[in-house]
């Protein structure tokens, strides 16, 4: 359920969530939301803070106050820097909060995570309910005792439970002897103060059976009094709850731990952080929160597949655990914890004596650990090993100087982590209040990016591709540019990653495709009628499953031959899910379009897979073309790629050609096409006409 008084926000949330497979109902205020809940109870509520009639906080309190809605997860939508709103959200027992503007990609994953955790907790409570019911009706083992005669009677089922015969259990002391040593004193005291004193009792302890097995027992009993008030008889039941308790502990563990790495999860870390803050407040001590994000982890996923990325995350988690365990200065500290928040984000929590030195030592050790290569073997079979290098950006916030609440410390550590990324990655930063300004700039850029398509701020430049046999331009690559009133000309290297993070890359990618097809259609009547256009396709767009239909619609709309449209995919994208890639490329090829592998040579694709893909062109990455005539290693790589491509019947395009020497080398090696500053920088459409002439 989405509850927001802003109709645009409601519609956007509904569209995004439904496109990700959720059933969505909406309400414009708290009262209508509560009424809807009486008719159709949701699994999760996305609740705006500021609303008329009944605001978000009051609505959340009412939800928690009603028995039938009290357990529904509630995510509050707050302002980015509204600490008071964050604290108030937890005061009214909200499950989580999300800052506006919303990062929909992250929110969708967070919703899925919370729903899984909620289901786990529900199962735990249902398990507890069933156990309670069973304890009232089931008599797994029965005993009764004549107190005055000190004579104990036990049932057959109790004998089977303990593995003892009736002859071995004739007195209460006999039974105490099979209780584990750790519990014997407690059980003896309970018998003295409850059973022999005439009180009802309920007790859980462990016994050792005659076979040497340790079992967990729950005992329930009562006593009978004489007319004089003396205890004359006692009776009770025993239930073996070993498996039940193990299941409950497993469910509890799963609800508080990450299933991939076995580290604490977000909920567990937040609980630990809350407790640690209370402890360190009493001790007047410092506490460090470290927020860690792997740099360029997406490239590993794109190149080797998500299953290999998961292997890397597990290995890294083990390195983190070893680092914390082996850190000398942490030996005396009362608090230390590691968690995986999701994706490639981790958090560390530990006490510090010197707030900067101790935290810096841990950060430096983590970065040093990451400098060692990760050796990954395909967990799905095969003998191929991959050696992968990754780095991390680390942000550090210290209690109490950088915040005195869990939400504030995590937010500030996250802000410091982004500062480390902006500094060049593979580094760490301590939080500084001035970082909020940088965070605000990033938020403002995201806001402007959301409006860019509607405000016509995007435009395309085109870079010619030259046929090395004829010397003529045969194709152009469409390159996206953004001119914004606030930020001016924004580099694609800056806004494309932001678009990918926020989910805006899909509408932007669709805009680029349509604009390129529109321009291609306009060129059909002049000197450029035979030209083709290459468009870069994002991994997100490729994996959506809608690309083939969208491209087909554009070809029909603009009356284009599919051969005039070239779709460029990075090596990483096509290696993400090989079988799905083959199917998707096959669908696109049936439209007649040309498929190119961009930046070839920078990923981890294998020849075995490459020959199975229905592709037409390999684009040699410009990092190999640079200084080609003098760099023997680059020359060898380029030679190998050209030979490989031609052996597979593919065309070769060299990117980034800037000198006559590079051009001569590529021509001598029979490269098919080139593009780069030697011929032309990317230019507006009207200037491309000159190349056609």
Dihedral over alpha carbons 644, 648, 653, 659 (to 10 degrees): 30
Report pLDDT for 207: 92
**Longest CA pairwise span in the chain (Å):** 119
At a CB cut-off of 8 Å and minimum separation 6, what does 424 contact?
Answer: none
pTM for the model: 0.49
Task: Please name every residue paired with 479 in a beta bridge, in sequence order, or none if there are none.
Answer: 461
Structure tokens, 219: 């005992």
User: Helices 7-19 and 104-137 meet at what angle, rounded to 10?
Assistant: 70
Report pLDDT for 138: 53
Provide the pLDDT confidence category of residue 92 given band limits of 50, 70 and 90: very high
**Tens of pLDDT, residues 489-513:** 988 988 888 888 788 889 999 999 9
Does the domain spanning 2-133 belong to CATH 3.40.980.10? no
- 3 state SS for 212-257: CCEEEEEEEEEEEECCCCCEEEEEEEEEECHHHHHHHHHHHHHHHE
**Tens of pLDDT, residues 188-236:** 888 888 887 888 888 999 999 888 999 999 988 888 888 888 888 888 8
Beta strand 74-79 with 391-399 is unpaired
Report pLDDT for 340: 94
Report pLDDT for 81: 65
**Tens of pLDDT, residues 378-434:** 666 666 778 888 889 999 999 999 999 999 999 999 989 988 887 778 899 999 887
Provide the pLDDT confidence category of residue 600 given band limits of 50, 70 and 90: confident
**Tens of pLDDT, residues 530-579:** 899 999 998 888 888 899 999 999 999 999 999 999 999 988 788 767 78
CATH entry, 139-245, from 3.30.1330.10, 3.40.640.10, 3.30.450.20, 3.30.1950.10: 3.30.450.20
Q: Enter the CATH code of domain 458-691.
A: 3.20.20.450
pLDDT at residue 331 above 60?
no
Report pLDDT for 383: 67
Sheet containing 26-27, strands listed edge to edge, beginning at the edge strand earlier in sequence: 26-27, 2-3, 45-48, 74-79, 96-100
What is the rounded average pLDDT for all residues in the chain?
87
Report pLDDT for 631: 86
Report pLDDT for 479: 96
Provide the pLDDT confidence category of residue 329 given band limits of 50, 70 and 90: very low
Report pLDDT for 80: 58
Residue with tokens 């800056």: 494
pLDDT at residue 88 above 70?
yes
**Tens of pLDDT, residues 114-158:** 999 999 988 888 886 675 455 444 547 888 888 888 888 888 888
Architecture of domain 257-431: 2-Layer Sandwich (3.30)
| Domains of the chain, residue spans | 2-133, 139-245, 257-431, 458-691
Rounded mean pLDDT of 596-618?
77
Percentage of the chain with pLDDT > 90? Answer: 45
* Dihedral over Cα of 38, 39, 43, 45: its sign: negative
């Amino acid at each position: 359920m989405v509850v927001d008084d802003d109709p645009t926000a409601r519609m956007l949330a509904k569209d995004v969530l439904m496109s990700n497979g959720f059933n969505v109902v909406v309400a414009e205020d708290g009262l209508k939301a509560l009424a809807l809940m009486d008719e159709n109870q949701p699994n999760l509520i996305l609740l705006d803070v500021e609303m008329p009639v009944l605001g978000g906080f009051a609505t959340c309190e009412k939800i928690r106050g009603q028995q039938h809605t009290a357990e529904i997860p509630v995510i509050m939508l707050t302002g980015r820097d509204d600490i008071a709103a964050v604290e108030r959200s937890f005061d009214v027992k909200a499950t989580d909060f999300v800052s506006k503007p919303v990062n929909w990609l992250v929110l969708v994953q967070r919703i899925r995570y919370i729903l899984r955790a909620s289901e786990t907790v529900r199962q735990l409570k249902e398990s507890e309910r069933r156990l309670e019911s069973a304890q009232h009706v089931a008599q797994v083992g029965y005993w009764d005792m004549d107190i005055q005669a000190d004579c104990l009677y036990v049932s057959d089922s109790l004998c089977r439970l303990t593995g003892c015969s009736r002859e071995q259990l004739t007195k209460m002391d006999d039974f105490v002897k099979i209780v584990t040593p750790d519990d014997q004193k407690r059980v003896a005291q309970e018998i003295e103060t409850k059973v022999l004193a005439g009180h009802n009792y309920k007790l859980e302890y462990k016994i050792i059976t005659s076979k040497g097995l340790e079992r967990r027992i729950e005992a329930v009993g009562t006593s009978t009094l004489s007319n004089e008030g003396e205890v004359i008889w006692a009776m009770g039941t025993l239930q073996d709850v070993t498996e039940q308790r193990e299941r409950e502990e497993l469910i509890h563990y799963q609800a508080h731990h990450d299933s991939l790495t076995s580290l604490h999860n977000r909920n567990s870390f937040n609980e630990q952080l809350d407790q640690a803050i209370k402890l360190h407040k009493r001790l007047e001590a410092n506490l460090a929160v470290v927020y860690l994000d792997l740099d360029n982890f997406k490239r590993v996923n794109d190149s080797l597949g998500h299953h290999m990325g998961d292997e890397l995350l597990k290995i890294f988690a083990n390195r983190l655990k070893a680092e914390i365990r082996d850190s000398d200065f942490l030996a005396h500290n009362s608090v230390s914890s590691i968690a995986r928040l999701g994706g490639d984000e981790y958090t560390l929590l530990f006490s510090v004596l010197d707030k900067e030195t101790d935290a810096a030592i841990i950060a430096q050790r983590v970065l040093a650990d990451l400098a060692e290569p990760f050796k990954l073997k395909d967990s799905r079979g095969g003998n191929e090993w991959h050696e992968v290098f990754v780095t991390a950006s680390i942000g550090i916030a210290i209690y109490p100087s950088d915040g005195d609440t869990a939400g504030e410390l995590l937010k500030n550590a996250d802000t410091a982590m982004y500062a480390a990324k902006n500094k060049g990655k593979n580094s760490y930063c301590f939080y500084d209040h001035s970082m909020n300004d940088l965070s605000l700039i990033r938020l403002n850029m995201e806001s402007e990016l959301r409006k860019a398509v509607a405000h016509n701020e995007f435009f395309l430049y085109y870079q010619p591709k030259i046929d090395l046999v004829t010397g003529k331009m045969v194709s152009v690559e469409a390159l996206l540019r953004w001119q914004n009133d606030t930020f001016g000309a924004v580099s694609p290297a800056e806004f494309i990653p932001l678009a990918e993070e926020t989910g805006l890359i899909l509408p932007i990618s669709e805009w680029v495709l349509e604009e390129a097809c529109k321009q291609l259609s306009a060129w059909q009547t002049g000197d450029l009628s035979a030209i083709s256009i290459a468009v870069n396709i994002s991994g997100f767009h490729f994996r959506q499953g809608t690309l083939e239909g969208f491209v087909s619609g554009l070809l029909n709309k603009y009356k284009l031959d599919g051969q005039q449209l070239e779709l460029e995919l990075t090596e990483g994208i096509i290696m993400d899910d090989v079988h799905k890639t083959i199917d998707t490329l096959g669908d696109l090829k049936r439209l007649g379009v040309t498929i190119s592998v961009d930046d070839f040579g920078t990923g981890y694709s294998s020849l075995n897979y490459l020959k199975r893909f229905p592709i037409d062109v390999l684009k040699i990455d410009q990092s190999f073309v640079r200084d080609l005539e003098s760099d023997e290693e680059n020359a060898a790589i380029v030679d190998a790629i050209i030979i490989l491509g031609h052996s597979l019947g593919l065309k070769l395009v060299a990117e980034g050609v800037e000198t006559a020497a590079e051009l001569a080398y590529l021509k001598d090696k029979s490269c098919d096409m080139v593009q780069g500053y030697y011929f032309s920088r990317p230019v507006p459409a009207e200037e491309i006409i000159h190349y056609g002439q």
